[in-house]
Chains A and B, each alone.
Chain A
Amino acid sequence: MYHKEKSIQMKSSASALYNNLSVLRIAPRSLTYFTVVHANMVNMVSASWDGLNYSHRQLQSKEANVATSSSLIMQAAWCVLPSRDILVLTSQKGIQMYESDGSIMVYWHALDTPETQTAQAVFARGIAAVREKYICVGISSGSMLVFDVPIKGSNITLSEVLEEHKESITDLASECSGSLECIADMVSADDSGNLCVWKSGEDFQLLNKIPGFDMSCSSVKLWKGTVVAGYGTGQIRLYEAVTGIVHAEVNAHARWIYSLDIAPFSGLLLSAAEDSLVRVWHLTMTPETNSVEVTSQTIPGRNLTTPRTHRQTLTASLPLSPSRSCTCITSV
């Protein structure tokens, strides 16, 4: 069901950011790419499946040679589209898009920065690939940018700006079950816990707005029409996307949740939080009763009573691939 594989050492530590680990499996080449953000850099490692070859690469944020503290990267994530995979980096300055191996930057979008310094921080955060050709990115103002991505080349264009959230976007997620029947294509979350459910298209359509309870939702996933949201209170909630009905509520962690991920075919959900624990859950969908059941899974081989000295802050979670899962626990 679940077993621990060989650990991979990254070049430097992981920054304390939400959703700070992205994974891309490249089956034809038996390779997996991992990225972790470290301040104004992204550490990327490509690991062969036989565990014998590792190659490291670092990507810098654009304009990184200007004062370090003002060019921090907020998130790095792969956007898997039918024709290509794009690596997206979001920072205080803007949005960088690369070919999947990080070798060529294909697009740069600069964020509007106000003339005079305001108290409101400016940055981009929240990345999702939606349907065949969209990449959505959230902004600190609450807006979301929708980019139209061609099958190949760098002619990426800004197609739409969605203005629905009033607080900074924390995370975006697209429907990951692969099912074409789902009405909702994307969910967006913000710092006050509000969730917006969208249908993609030339004009994105707002299907539903699920109010937050003034508690930041730091990580969100959309699976089989169910929104899975992780909050700063350590709670995980499951909602039916289009109606907003609460399916389940889990008092999952004792501290702020930093990351969630779902293995779409098995329904395994992973949550990671600042309490230094990773928990695995099992989601079972019952279409007849339209309910989702959550049970916790014990992780064999992982001693949950690890002595205190070995626990470190968890800043990254791990995306689960269809058949396997990989763990990366890093510390600050």
Chain B
Amino acid sequence: MSMRTLPLVFINLGGEMLYILDQRLQTQNTADDNTQKGVWSDDDRKRVMNDIIATMFSKAFMEELLKPQDLYSNRALRTVLTRLAHASIMRLNPASMDRLYELMVMAFKYQLLLCPRPRDLLIISYNHIDAIREFVRDTPSVLNQVDETHRKIIEVYTPLSDGEFQLLRQTLLIFLQDMHVRVSLFLKDKVQNPNGRFALSTTGPVPHGTEVPGLIRMFSSNGKEWKRWEFPTGGSYTSSIRVGSFERFGDRVTRIGTNMYSVTQPEETHTSKSYSQKANSEPNPLAKEELNLLARLLGGMKVQNRNTETGFRVNLFATDQEEEEASLFNSGCDAYCSILIIYNLDVQVNTELARIAGEFTGEPEQTESPEGPSNKGDDLLAMMDELIEL
């Protein structure tokens, strides 16, 4: 379908991921078991955010995304997002990554559904970009990248017609149509039903360009209106409000796409699956190529085959035991998403961390291109295995 989905997918999903990570990284020192409290300082948090944003908005990555192409498969998208989440010293185990992915995707699905006009998907994306800009306002180099990307997005998407935006939106909705993970925040606000489907409102302002329903007008053959009457609408709609700004800066008007976690307080956001997701287990030849290219673009951070004790590990569960249980029982589990950061005092870790952190100051290195198609496949599978092992 639409060939222009990827940039918006990554900006919005990436944006949601950053909202969640930012909130989690701030709720430190709230662990009530007796594991060591983390030394996750403000600087550390900022560095994680900067690193992820720098990778996501890198010129090479964005250029690749902006090429007209089909939307990735679920598996490919998931892998790239996992890679992005690990573009810093922070580590997420598979169960935490699962939860993160579910939250990100369900939030984006909700935003897509609520989008008043298909074109407003751009405003939602710009809300995400505005927030991302805030996260990196103290780092001029990354801020520059974000600005540059924003300019490019405006350039590419502004000329699209409403029909093309609707096609884009439909492509994304079809991609997400089988995800029905229940998110406690949505359930609480009654915007999501217990079966995982979203509930739409029949009140509020109509989108810009739409008239409030309720009027029928009849015209004669010379174009004059000869009769009009009203019918009951069953909803309570009001006139549209002003349109948000499609420029780089400005009042976006709508709150869709802004950080919904910044208003959530002690209550954590839970997710629960009522049925398992369709697993696409067939390795897809096209996806391998895509991923390999992306792996080269995302940079030289070769994921080493390390044991899981090194690095800053971020756990989206309250205790290690819960985390284990969660990874064993994939479906129907209610996960607590409070955070616990474990800092390993191994001396080796510090040197390793310094090395990895150092790799982000320069341009992403090109990894050696492997010879032959079979090597490419192996390389990528190895990379994916490593990611999962983390």
Contact = CB atoms under 8 A, between A and B. Distances in A.
Interface stretch (B125-133, B144-152, B164-172, B322-330): B164-172
B35 interface: no
Contact of B221 (A123, A191, A245): A245
A163 to B, nearest CB: 18
Given A216-B162, A235-B211, A312-B197, 8 more contacts: A69-B70, A117-B68, A121-B1, A191-B161, A276-B202, A296-B216, A308-B201, A310-B193
A151 to B, nearest CB: 35
A291 B2 contact: no
B265 to A, nearest CB: 24
A70 B164 CA distance: 17
B287 interface: yes
Contacts of A118: 3, 68
A246 interface: yes
Interface string A257-299: 0000000000000000011110000000000001101111010
Interface of B: 1-4, 67-73, 113, 116-118, 161-164, 166-167, 169-171, 173-175, 177-178, 190, 193, 197-202, 206-207, 209-221, 223, 231-232, 234-235, 237, 280, 284, 286-287
Given A16-B177, A92-B1, A247 B218 contact: yes
Given A67-B73, A119-B68, A313-B200, A232 B166 contact: yes
B235 A275 contact: yes
Contacts of A296: 216, 231-232
Nearest to A67: B286
A102 B384 CA distance: 40
A235 B214 CA distance: 10
A304 B234 CA distance: 5
A234 interface: yes
Contacts of B68: 117-119
A7 interface: no
B164 to A, nearest CB: 7
Nearest to A310: B199
12 contacts: A39-B177, A117-B3, A117-B67, A119-B68, A123-B1, A234-B211, A247-B218, A254-B212, A291-B220, A296-B232, A305-B234, A312-B198
B231 A308 contact: no
Given A117-B68, A234-B206, A235-B211, A249 B219 contact: yes
Nearest to B284: A67
A39 B190 CA distance: 28
Interface in A187-222: 190-192, 214-216, 218
